[in-house]
Structure 1
Amino acid sequence: MAKIAIVGCGAMGSVYAALMASVGHAVHAVTLWADHAAAMRDHGLRVEGASGDRTVRLASAGTTTAGIGPCDLVIIATKAFDVAAAAQACTPLIGSGTVVQTIQNGLGSPEVVATVIDPDRIAVGVVGGFGASMRGPGHAHHNGLEMIRFGAFAGLPRERLETAAAIWDSAGFRTSLFDDLGRMVWEKLIMNVTFSGTTTLTGLTIGGVMADPDAWRVAQGCAEEAIAVAAAIGVTLEVGDPLDHIRRLGGKIPEARPSMLLDHRAGRRGEVEAINGTIPRLGRRWGVATPVNDTVVALIKAREAAFPVAADPETCPV
């Protein structure tokens, strides 16, 4: 069995932790949400949803990485804007054979981690179709387990990437390994771009956005701009018709609320810059007009400007 640290153990990280611990891996959860850490220590971690309903005991749960020591696998599962601090916190967890997996929405997180951690031990992860949320401290829920993909960021040997993926497979996840990181990341990003901003602005679920003609018109505009930017960059999307692909995946988790919507409802800053904001930034560079994503980003940032300044216990730096 493997020794695993999940740094940024919010909703998604809790799903990873529970399924891995349930098959015997020694899982150490790190979150600055003190009540969540305490609940996991005192009562175990409960995760319910598409994978069943289970309560597991973890090897440890705390608010820092102190005392954990080197691990076989380190999963950085924070929000994109917390990745730099998380990478710094992970340095005591790295031994000679450690693989570090970055799993964030949007683009750019692996490059940030690589400024702190040896690029040749980093794996890039893309997951989707989970629809994960926190029901309370020590209790997470998820709607699905659709997409789990990994690839080497730089010089991580294939056998070490496969060993890390085998840990996920042993816990019931279905992983795919990719050599083409651009394709891997963008096939997930177009899904995020479609639904994250529009659910945040409307308050609708993914299924609600697809069912509402006006909301879907905005979501489709976001998607079409992202697809056009990917084509301009030279990214090949091997999903058939991209809009059909987006609707098919969305149809599998119609009740899901993306993390950006959940953050917005809680008055927390979300990842709009890393997701929808990526499309205008790259569009300007490659000469692709992106008016829909520009508008979505501006509206969400205007709303966020009115939020009270407060630490996010699920996602702030660890």
Structure 2
Amino acid sequence: MAKVCIVGCGAMGSVYAGLMAAAGHEVHAVTPWQEHVDAINANGLRVSGYSGDRVVRLASASTGTHDIGPCDLVIIATKAFDVEAAARSAGALMNADTVVQTIQNGVGSPERVARYVDPAQLAVGVVGGYGASIPEWGHAHHNGLAVTWFGAYASLPRASLKASAEIWRSSGFEVALHDDVSSMVWKKVIMNVAYSGTAGLTELTIGQIIEHPEAWRIASGCAQEAVDVSRKLGVELGLPDPIAHVRALGGKIPGARPSMLLDLQAGRRCEVDAINGAIVRLGQEYGVPTPINDVVVALIRAKESMAIDAAPVARAGAH
């Protein structure tokens, strides 16, 4: 069994931690949420939903990487805006054989992690169709396990990439390895861009967005602009109809609420800059019009500001 540390053990990270611990791996969780740490240490970590319902004991749960020691696998599962701090803290968890997987929404995070982690030890991960949330401290719920993909960031040996993927497979995840990391990342980006901002503004689930004609018009328009940007960048998506792909994948988790919506409802900073905002930024840089994402980003930023101002009255358990 492997020794694994998940840095950024929120909703998604807790699903990873729970299933890996259930498979017998030594799992250490690091999260800034003291309430989550206290609940896990007192009662174990509960993971419910698509994979069943279980309570597992982790090797440790804490707010820092101290005292954990070198691991076989380090998973950086923070929000995009916290990824550099997580990468800096990962040094205490590494030796020459450690594989670091960074898994974030949007674009740009692997490049920032590579400032602190040897590219020969770094993998990029893409997950989707999980629909994860934290209904209460110490409890993660998820609606699916549709996509779990990895690729080498730069010079990670193939054997190391496969060994790290096997930890996930042994824990019940269906893993695919990709040689074209840009294509892998952008397939997820177009889905994030479709549903994240739209849900954040409308407070609809993914299924409701798909079924509501006006909401779908905004979601599909955001996705199409992301497709246009990816083509300008020379990314080969390998999808005959990218928008149909976005709709089909979203249809697998109709009850899910994207993390951008959950963060806004909880009065927390959201990842709009790494998702819809990245499309706007790259569109401006490469001369690709992004009018729908422009408006979505502006409205999300306004809503985020109001949500953070109202944070003292936000329900703490909604993640």
Report the Cα distance in structure 2 between the residues aligned to 1:178 and 1:16, rounded to whole angstroms. Answer: 20
Residue aligned with 2:53, SS: strand
Residue aligned with 2:72, SS: strand
TM-score when normalising by structure 1? 0.96
Residue aligned with 1:123, SS: strand
Q: Give the corresponding residue for 2:57.
A: 57
Q: Give the corresponding residue for 1:121.
A: 121
Contact 2:267 2:310 survives alignment (8 Å) = no
What amino acid is aligned across from residue 173 of structure 1 in structure 2? F
How far did residue 164 of structure 1 move?
A: 0.1
Q: Give the corresponding residue for 1:181.
A: 181
Q: Give the corresponding residue for 2:247.
A: 247
Report the Cα distance in structure 2 between the residues aligned to 1:248 and 1:119, rounded to whole angstroms. Answer: 34
Report the Cα distance in structure 1 between the residues aligned to 2:192 and 2:113, rounded to whole angstroms. Answer: 21
Aligned pair in 2 of structure 1 residues 309, 117: CA closer, same or farther (>3 Å)? farther
Deviations 1:177-197 (A, max 9, x none): 111111000000000000000
Report the Cα distance in structure 1 between the residues aligned to 2:231 and 2:249, rounded to whole angstroms. Answer: 21
Q: How big is the alpha-carbon RMSD for the aligned residues of Structure 1 and Structure 2? A: 1.5
Q: Give the corresponding residue for 1:199.
A: 199
Residue aligned with 1:245, SS: helix
Q: Give the corresponding residue for 1:308.
A: 309
Report the Cα distance in structure 2 between the residues aligned to 1:125 and 1:28, rounded to whole angstroms. Answer: 19
Deviates more, 1:103-112 or 1:305-314: 305-314
Residue aligned with 1:9, SS: coil
Residue aligned with 1:135, SS: strand
Deviates more, 1:281-290 or 1:191-200: 281-290
Q: Give the corresponding residue for 2:67.
A: 67
Superposition map of 1:229-240 within 5 A: 229-240=229-240
TM-score when normalising by structure 2? 0.96
Q: Give the corresponding residue for 2:80.
A: 80
Report the Cα distance in structure 2 between the residues aligned to 1:106 and 1:239, rounded to whole angstroms. Answer: 19
How far did residue 232 of structure 1 move?
A: 1.0
Q: Give the corresponding residue for 2:25.
A: 25
Q: Give the corresponding residue for 1:41.
A: 41
Contact 2:74 2:100 survives alignment (8 Å) = yes
Q: Does 1:221 align with 2:221?
A: yes
What amino acid is aligned across from residue 219 of structure 1 in structure 2? A
- How many residue pairs match? The answer is 314
Contact 2:75 2:102 survives alignment (8 Å) = yes
Deviates more, 1:299-308 or 1:72-81: 299-308
Report the Cα distance in structure 1 between the residues aligned to 2:98 and 2:20, rounded to whole angstroms. Answer: 17
Contact 2:134 2:141 survives alignment (8 Å) = yes
Q: Give the corresponding residue for 2:131.
A: 131
Report the Cα distance in structure 1 between the residues aligned to 2:233 and 2:52, rounded to whole angstroms. Answer: 41
Report the Cα distance in structure 1 between the residues aligned to 2:63 and 2:180, rounded to whole angstroms. Answer: 35
Deviations 1:85-137 (A, max 9, x none): 11111110001200000000001111111111111111000000000000111
What amino acid is aligned across from residue 135 of structure 1 in structure 2? P
Residue aligned with 2:9, SS: coil
Higher RCO structure (Cα 8 Å, ≥6 apart):
1
Deviations 1:155-207 (A, max 9, x none): 10000000000000000001111111110000000000000000000000000
How far did residue 309 of structure 1 move?
A: 8.6
Residue aligned with 1:229, SS: helix
Q: Which runs of 5+ in 1 are unaligned?
A: none
Report the Cα distance in structure 2 between the residues aligned to 1:23 and 1:71, rounded to whole angstroms. Answer: 17
Q: Give the corresponding residue for 2:105.
A: 105
Report the Cα distance in structure 2 between the residues aligned to 1:11 and 1:292, rounded to whole angstroms. Answer: 29
What amino acid is aligned across from residue 89 of structure 2 in structure 1? A
Q: Which runs of 5+ in 2 are unaligned?
A: none
Deviations 1:37-57 (A, max 9, x none): 111111100000000001001
Deviations 1:278-317 (A, max 9, x none): 1111111221100000100000111222222979999xxx
Residue aligned with 2:135, SS: strand
Report the Cα distance in structure 1 between the residues aligned to 2:229 and 2:157, rounded to whole angstroms. Answer: 31
Report the Cα distance in structure 2 between the residues aligned to 1:117 and 1:229, rounded to whole angstroms. Answer: 28
